[in-house]
Amino acid sequence: MDSILYLLAILVCIISMIIQFWLKSTVKKWSKVDSGTEYDANAAVAQMFRENDILDVKIAHQDGELTDCYSPKERTIFLSNTSYNKNSVAAIAVAAHECGHAIQDSKQTAIYQLRQALTVPASFCSRFGMILAIGGFLLGSAAQSGSNLWFQVAKIGVVMYFVVFLFYLAMVPVEVDASRRGLEAIKKNGFISADKIKGARKVLTAAGSTYVISMTSAFITFLRIFMLVNRGRSRRR
């Protein structure tokens, strides 16, 4: 089982690199294709704001590529160099997706709220969960006494890493829903000419796949430390 998980972890790592390459090349390709309409990314976002009665979210420029994001704290959609004021298919697709997050936030959808609620605990747990699990396992294995206190610490680390996995798991439906909202708005408002909508779908599918692979990777990591700690504990008995 250990070697299977090890091989799976390597496989997921390779797939992750392939997906990153696929995402970059898809965005590059569709960044060169203009939308074929009078809309650019900023105008598309503004239209989506009007449609959804969103009055308090700003659009700002963020340096870099693929750095587009929605910040619920700042109530701002940040668009990268390849999106801000750009009228390419990729720019509008990415901007409409980010606007999808702003809509989820303003409508307070359950899955978005769950993901938001998990953000701080998951960041804390990803920092300390692995240290407690591995550290507890190593100290528990080295300890001469019959006490399995260190394995209890390791167990806490495993539970903490499970919270990290839950965060990545919640990301997937949130991302799928934001892309669905973005694509719907693109079609409904004609942000992109009909013959080029397939490009928007490709960009969003590639971006969405990165979240699926992150979730898979977190699950395999969780399984690996779970099995490691569990085996350590049973060996002590």
- Torsion angle of alpha carbons 14, 19, 25, 31, nearest 10°? -160
Q: Which residue's CB is nearer to Zn ion, number 105 or number 175?
A: 175
Q: What is the size of the binding site for Zn ion (CB under 5 A)?
A: 2
Report which DSSP code applies to 66: S
* Smallest separation, CB 60 to Zn ion (Å): 16
CA distances from 22 to 19, 68, 120, 202, 203 (A): 5, 17, 30, 10, 9
Summary count for the chain: helices (H), strands (E): 6, 3
Which tokens belong to 41? 């990314």
Q: Which positions from 173 to 192 touch Zn ion by CB under 5 A, shown as an x/- string?
A: --x--x--------------
Q: Which residue's CB is nearer to Zn ion, number 40 or number 175?
A: 175
* Smallest separation, CB 94 to Zn ion (Å): 9
Q: Which positions from 53 to 82 touch Zn ion by CB under 5 A, shown as an x/- string?
A: ------------------------------
Diameter of the chain measured on Cα atoms: 74
Instruction: Say if CB 185 and CB 191 are below 8 A apart.
Output: yes
User: Which residues within the stretch 87-146 sit at the binding site for Zn ion (CB under 5 A)?
Assistant: none
* Smallest separation, CB 97 to Zn ion (Å): 6
Q: Considering only the stretches 13-21, 169-177, 185-193, 220-228, report the one whose residues sit in contact with Zn ion under the rule CB under 5 A.
A: 169-177
* Smallest separation, CB 171 to Zn ion (Å): 8
Distance CA 114, CA 122 (A): 12
Residues that bind Zn ion (CB under 5 A): 175, 178
